[in-house]
Structure 1
């Protein structure tokens, strides 16, 4: 698998002239640990990370620009780079994301989350969300076991009564990706 197959795009990026405050707000707003810094030609010249933002804040960098605190040099990869190589570089250098370039121009970013996405099926994601919904409903008592296959959710466990079965079924059907629900009563052991 190659970078172009899993990279995130369009890329949220900043210019070196962007204020640290604005860049930090963008990191928080988008939930990123870091983002590329590009020049006017969209060429990657640095990375601005949460650590850089904190460094600027603790240094009293009010009014500072990204150029003063960005991390350089930057590891970039091409769209044709194998994701195994990107993963190894990210682990070895403790990188959270790698900018992807084509002819030197930023076209995407591969994050740790992007690398994990192919390993997790949509059924796994649906099961995780459904499990969290049911855990919240039950008050974290761990009442039911959830399995999802091709969108079909099977919820096994003990139900207090028919009303609870209907509520659990309705909650399950409210989760995006659930196409059907089967409830199996299994007494506690």
Structure 2
């Protein structure tokens, strides 16, 4: 597996002349731990991370508000990059050795993607595990974070067990499960409250 197989794109990035406030807003909006910093030509010139943001706000203890400082004054640079053809094992080694939150992926000097730690974690999971997690998250969100159903996935086929209020709810649950990437089939196995306590 290569970097191109799991990198995130399109890439959310910041510019050196953006303010720290703008960069922090982008990080929090998109849920990233770090963002590449690119110049006008699309070349990677640094990385701005949550740690950099914290360091800026704690800078010198001078009482000044540094959120208006430029990203170029707070970013980590020089930055390590990889190419789309870099092997994932090499990517993981570099990220661990450098304690990096993300590695920009460049082609002919231009930013084309980013490999984050969470991208690497996905490679440790089987596809069915990823589908299970996605379906469970959809159902938990629908149920108001109250876990009401069991989810089992084998070869992309999803089996959802539990109690369903009515046919309409069964239809909604099945439709939600079908929206998860990689799902090939959905089966609902209703379980009544009476049968839950039976031993046979």
TM category, shorter: 0.7 to 0.9
Deviation of the 1:50 alpha carbon: 1.2
Q: Does 2:118 align with 1:109? A: no
Deviation of the 1:180 alpha carbon: 2.5
Corresponding residue of 1:23: 23
1:180 is matched with which residue: 171, 180, 186? 186
Query: What does residue range 39-58 of structure 1 map to in structure 2 within 5 Å?
Result: 39-58=39-58
Distance in 1, Cα, partners of 2:134 & 2:4:
28
Deviation of the 1:33 alpha carbon: 1.0
**Aligned with 2:165: secondary structure?**
helix
Corresponding residue of 1:33: 33
Deviation of the 1:119 alpha carbon: 4.2
Q: Normalised by the size of structure 2, how large is the TM-score?
A: 0.76
Corresponding residue of 1:99: 104
Distance in 2, Cα, partners of 1:155 & 1:122:
17
Moved more, 5-14 or 25-34: 5-14
List gaps (5 residues or longer) in structure 1.
none
Corresponding residue of 1:9: 9
Deviation of the 1:131 alpha carbon: 3.1
List gaps (5 residues or longer) in structure 2.
60-64
Distance in 2, Cα, partners of 1:127 & 1:26:
29
Moved more, 129-138 or 25-34: 129-138
Q: Give the CA RMSD over aligned residues.
A: 2.8
Q: Does 2:94 align with 1:73? A: no
**Aligned with 2:12: secondary structure?**
coil
Q: Does 2:149 align with 1:147? A: no
1:145–1:165: structure 2 CA closer, same or farther, 3 Å change rule?
A: farther
**Aligned with 1:29: secondary structure?**
helix
